[in-house]
Amino acid sequence: MQLPLPLTRELVLIGGGHSHALLLRMWGMKPLPGVRLTVINPDARAAYSGMLPGFIAGHYQRHELELDLVRLARFAGARVVLGRVSGIDRAQKRILVPGRPPIAYDIASIDIGITSAMPGLDGFVDHATPAKPLETFANSWDSFREQVHNSRASADAVVIGGGVAGVEIAMAMAHALRRDGCEAPNISLVDRAEVLAEMRSKTRDQLLQHLKAQGVQLRETVEVLRIEHDRVCLEGGDEIPSAFTLGAAGARPWGWLKETGLTLVDGFIEVGETLQSSNDPDIFACGDCAHMHLTPRPKAGVFAVRQAPVLYHNLVAALTGAELRSFRPQRDYLKLISLGGKSALADKSGVRLEGALLWKWKDQIDQKFMTKLKRLPSMAAVPLPDPVADGVAEALAAGKPMCGGCGAKVGSDVLAGVLADLPSIARADVLTRAGDDAAVLLTGGQHQVFTTDHLRAFSNDPYVMARIAATHALGDIWAMGASPQAALASITLPRMSDTLQQQWLAEIMAGAGEVFSAAGAEIVGGHTSIGAELCIGFSLTGLCGKSAITVSGAQPDDRLILTKPLGSGVILAAEMALSARGHWVAEALASMARPQGEAARILSNANAMTDVTGFGLAGHLMAICTGFGLSATLHLDQLPLFEGAELLAGQGVQSTLYPKNRAALIGQCDVRPGARGDLLFDPQTAGGLLAAVPSADSAALVRALTEAGFDAVEIGELHPGAPFITAQ
Residues noted as catalytic: 406
Q: Classify residue 150 by burial, with Cβ atoms within 10 Å: 0-12, 13-18, 19+.
A: exposed
CB 412 within 8 A of CB 661: yes
Angle, CA 42 vertex, CA 56 and CA 6 arms, to 5°: 135
3-state DSSP assignment of residue 217: strand
The neighbour count for residue 657, using CB atoms within 10 Å, is 27
Give the Cα separation of 307 and 275 in Å (integer): 8
Q: What gap in Å lies between CA 121 and CA 191, rounded to an integer?
A: 13
Cα–Cα distance, 536 to 148 (Å, whole number): 52
Query: Partners of 720 in the beta sheet?
Result: 630
The contacts of residue 696 (CB under 8 Å, 6+ apart) are: none
> What is the 8-class DSSP label of residue 49?
G
Question: Strand 689-693 to strand 608-611: parallel, antiparallel, or no bridges (unpaired)?
Answer: antiparallel
CB atoms within 10 A of CB 445: 5
* Whether the bond into 387 is cis, omega within 30 of 0: yes
Cα dihedral 595, 598, 600, 604 in deg (nearest 10): 170
* Peptide bond connecting 595 to the previous residue in cis, omega within 30 degrees of 0: no
Q: For 468-515, give the secondary structure using H, E and C.
A: HHHHHHHHHHHHCCCEEEEEEEEEEEECECHHHHHHHHHHHHHHHHHH
The CA-atom distances, in angstroms, between 165 and each of 50, 171, 487 are 9, 10, 54
